[in-house]
Amino acid sequence: MNSRDQILSRVGQHRYDSPLPDLPSFDPPEGSVIDAFGRAVETTAGKYVNCYADEVAAHIGRIHSRADRIASTTGLVNGTVDLRDDSGSQVVGSIELFVCMAELGVAENGAVWITDSRLRSRAALFATQHLAVVVRRDSIVWNMHDAYRRITINKEGFGVFVCGPSKTADIEQSLVIGAHGPRSLTVFAIE
């Protein structure tokens, strides 16, 4: 018997019935979900900007005034790096700022859901020195249950919840922002 059948047969010997619970739903607290989202982004050491779509580029120009190599997959911001599906690691590794859209935001933790179709290069999202993500205000949900109800995780090959800039506390529990991934995250909530 091969290992697959061996494992399945061993596991199959210990079957029992236990009900699968229904998925829960919890109401948001009082107050604006959008505001809660903004506060949550800041709690994760991210920067939060609430603005109109046509103001994003100006904000980015101000926040990241020194970034030359900008890759953008959204029409809201013009990039300086030509990022393609087949961009090699040299291109990806040189990105200073990556700008993309998120499909949805989660107010309870400040996370944004980003998938393949908004990325062009999966590696760019993690290799960039700084990250800016744009999310539409009407796509912000309260909690993770609401988020999973809204998204289809296997619609695309890859999807990720990003919740703040990359960080570590592996040296004596001291929080350091910018471990291997982006050193900063700016989240724009637009009309």
Partner 1 sequence: MSSAVVESDTEFVALPVIHHARAAAAFTSDAARTDWHDESLWLVRKKRDVAAAAVPEWEELRALASAVKEHTLGRLDEYLVQFEKNATENGVHVHWAADADEHNRIVAQILRERGARRLVKSKSMLTEECGLNGHLEADGVEVVDTDLGERIIQLAGDTPSHIVMPAIHYKKEEIGTLFNRTMGTQEGSADPQYLTEAARADLRKRFFAADASLTGVNFAVAETGGFVVCTNEGNADLGVHLAPIHIASMGIEKLIPRADDLGIFLRLLARSATGQPLTVYSSHFHAPTPGREIHLVLVDNGRSEQLGREAFAAGLKCIRCGACMNTCPVYRRSGGHSYGSTIPGPIGSILAPNRDMKKYRELPYASTLCGSCTDVCPVMIDIHEQLYAWRQEETRAGVQPPFKRLSMLFAGMFLGRPRLYRLGARLMRFALSRLPRSAIYNRWNAWGRERELPQLPEESFRDWYVRTGGTSE
Q: Which is nearer to partner 1, 20 or 62 (CB)?
A: 20
Q: Which is nearer to partner 1, 18 or 65 (CB)?
A: 18
CB of 79 to partner 1, least distance (A): 19
Closest CA to 55 of 71, 77, 73, 35: 77
Q: Which is nearer to partner 1, 58 or 169 (CB)?
A: 169
E strand or H helix at 187, and its extent?
A: strand 184-190
CB-based contacts of 132, cutoff 8 Å, min separation 6: 60, 63, 64, 77, 97, 98, 99, 100, 185, 186, 187, 188
Phi and psi, residue 89, nearest 5°: -65, -25
CB of 60 to partner 1, least distance (A): 21
Q: Which is nearer to partner 1, 52 or 175 (CB)?
A: 175
Q: Which is nearer to partner 1, 15 or 62 (CB)?
A: 15
Cα gap 166→128, rounded to integer Å: 11
CB of 58 to partner 1, least distance (A): 27
CB of 118 to partner 1, least distance (A): 14
CB of 52 to partner 1, least distance (A): 28
Closest CA to 109 of 59, 164, 189, 47: 164
